[in-house]
Structure 1
Amino acid sequence: MSVAFNPVAQGAASVESLIVGESPAIVELRRLVRQVAPSSASVIVTGPSGSGKEMVARAIHAESQRASKNYVAVNCGAIPRDLLESELFGHEKGSFTGAVTQHRGRFEEAHGGTLFLDEIGDMPADMQVKLLRVLEERAIQRVGGRGQIAVDSRIVSATHRDIDEAITHQRFREDLFYRLAVFPIDLPSLAERREDVPLLVRHFLRQIADSKRTVRFTKEAMDRLVAHPWPGNVRELRNVIERAAILFPGQTVSAEEVELLLHRRTRVNRAERAAVWEASERAAPTAPLSSPAPDAAPAKSDESLISEGPVDLRAMVSDLEHRYITEALDHAQGVVAEAARLLSLRRTTLIEKMRKYGLHQAAA
């Protein structure tokens, strides 16, 4: 919900390390950041979710005269509305049920530094009024407090919402917007700067992969990454690179494997896991793909499956899945698409499972 750090203690970051890319849009973005950072002007950063709005806020702080002071980030959309005032302005002991001690708010923590208000477009209307007053008076009043506390916090805010539309429909105060948007910055989506994808891939690999987990991408694989529409923007790309480092440590990733990484959907995985669990309940672990012989004796419904003690159910399910895949490949004579049809799986999903069980040669 909120985070604070002192760049002196943690090592100050540079604009280049925070805003990665060489596309014209990113070159212009870095120029704007360097232009506004030395001032104390309020900045509002707009752009689609996952496009890197907080990285811009950190870059502004890093380039400002406040860089040695705290950078404090608050997600206004993630904090319950009845707690947001206390989170921002603090509270006095006994001011409400549960206020057992005095609490300094984020404005006080960011005194002399930068306060980043993320998802400002989700801030409730009553809090918008209180925030406007703080920006005008440069002072806050803790919940339950009586005196004013002077604060000197540089405000950088961000939202993925259409602020003009929100103002038109009276969901966001126009006077607050003008206080926050002395210097507006709009971020492009990753799809609008595809040429930055290879640079971002290398940047994320340096961040998340050690010498054993680092991965490489073939030219075809990188072309596939560049061509992807990236609806989740830079955040989605980072997630894909993290998955690659986990699934293919020390390997070279092909275009087909990139396809697997791009289409790992939680909903599909849940459905497939449910199907495997259901299969494990319907059939014994030794059940073959083919139908049982007509004279085979039916299983006794009252027979205990764990009469001999604890069982490793997950291992049993994995064993069942492994043998179903192996037999399906045998039936399909190694044709992966046909084996996937027999198992009611997508071809890419089956390839991923084959890799999991070391069945690469079976598909040849």
Structure 2
Amino acid sequence: RVLETGIVRRVGGAEDVPVRVRVVAATNRRLDDEVVAGRFREDLFHRLHVLSIALPPLRDHAGDIPALVAHFLRQFVPQGETVRFDDEAMKKLAAHFWPGNIRELRNVVQRAVLMRAGDSLTAKDVVFPPNTSKNRLETREAAKKTLADIERGAIVTELVRNSGKKGDAADALGISRSTIHRKIEEYKIDIDAELYAAKSK
């Protein structure tokens, strides 16, 4: 109601108070998919969705890690001291999946600085939280890939069944037009090629 009218009423109050605010909201989910699944209110989605900015996860721009590490070292190393990560430590940082994004990187650097034995930080000084261990992350990524393959296959099947008509395929899958357009682009589905391949079988 506040987003629609710009008016609020204090709890227990009797007067409406006009307000001018700008709402900035963040999420780690695709809200259009959440709306389709019935987990997020469509009216609220449209009230909030004025301007959308996608922030890529740290793992997608690992080239920024050295600069971020240097920034956090300046933040945590006492003034007058020089501390650096050696090459192997930097390789370990660059190879990590970073499910906690920049906050996780900040914590890893801070821990390494606090627990250091000298001025050169090695790969042994780079310690990740137990719940972000390599095995768990690899398992999670494998599951994501499997689910992505299943989803892509379902979309291709319905596109072929509906002669490439995206709207009909979306209806058959129970998703919105905007979602199927995004998924086709995301999975790089060449509809003409898929139709040709299906006819050739």
Q: Give the TM-score taking structure 1 as reference length.
A: 0.34
- Pick aligned residue for 1:265 from 118, 125, 130: 130
**Aligned equivalents of 1:159, 1:214: Cα separation in 2:** 38
Q: 2:30 maps to which residue?
A: 162
Deviation at 1:162? 2.6
| TM-fit CA distance, 1:147 | 0.7
State the Cα deviation string for residues 173-226 of structure 1 (Å, max 9, x = none): 212112211110111111111101111111122223322676311122112111
CA shift, 1:233, in A, is 1.4
Which residue of structure 1 lines up, in the alignment, with residue 70 of structure 2?
202
The structure that has the greater radius of gyration is 1
Tell me, in whole angstroms, the C-alpha distance in 1 between the residues paired with 2:10 and 2:117: 50
The whole-number CA distance in structure 1 between the counterparts of 2:117 and 2:53 is 38
Pairs within 5 Å for 1:295-334: none
CA distance in 1 between counterparts of 2:118 and 2:19 reads 50
Are the aligned partners of 1:214 and 1:250 in contact in 2 as well (CA < 8 Å)?
Answer: no
State whether residues 198 and 222 of structure 1, in contact with CA within 8 Å, keep that contact through their aligned partners in structure 2.
yes
**How many percent of aligned residue pairs carry the same amino acid?**
48
Distance 2:44 2:11 in 1: 21
CA contact (8 A) 2:116 2:125 kept: no
SS at 1:234 equivalent: helix
Name whichever structure is richer in helix by fraction: 2
Whether contact under 8 Å (1:215, 1:248) holds in the other structure is no
Query: Which residue, out of 153, 165, 169, partners 2:21?
Result: 153
Residue of structure 2 equivalent to 1:26? none
Structure 2 unmatched runs, 5+: 132-201
How far, CA to CA, are the matches of 1:245 and 1:162 in structure 2? 36
Change (3 A) 1:147 1:265: same
Structure 1 vs Structure 2 CA RMSD = 2.2
SS in 2 for 1:158: coil
Q: Does 1:136 align with 2:4?
A: yes
Deviation, 1:265, is 2.8
Q: After superposing the two structures, state which structure 1 stretch, 224-233 or 242-251, moved more.
A: 242-251
The 5-angstrom pairing of residues 61-100 of structure 1 reads none
Partner-residue secondary structure (3-state), 2:13: coil
Question: Residues 149 and 196 of structure 1: is their aligned pair in 2 closer, same or farther, counting only changes over 3 Å?
Answer: same
- Provide the C-alpha distance between the structure 1 equivalents of 2:49 and 2:69, rounded to a whole number of angstroms: 32
Offset, 1:250: 5.3
Per-residue CA distance 1:228-260 (angstroms, 9 max, x = gap): 1112211111110110111016521112332xx
Partner of 1:231: 99
Aligned residues between the structures: 132
Alignment check: 8 A CA contact 1:213 1:246 kept: no
Contact 1:212 / 1:249 at 8 angstroms: preserved in 2? no
CA–CA distance in structure 1, aligned partners of residues 121 and 80 of structure 2: 15
In structure 1, the partner of 2:110 is: 242
Unpaired segments of 5 or more residues in structure 1? 1-132, 267-364
1:187 matched residue in structure 2: 55
Q: What code does the residue aligned with 1:265 have?
A: P
Tell me which protein shows more strand as a share of its residues. Answer: 1
- Aligned mates of 1:207, 1:150 — CA distance in 2: 42
Q: Distance in 2 between matches of 1:167 and 1:203?
A: 39
Larger RCO, structure (CA 8 Å, separation 6 or more): 1
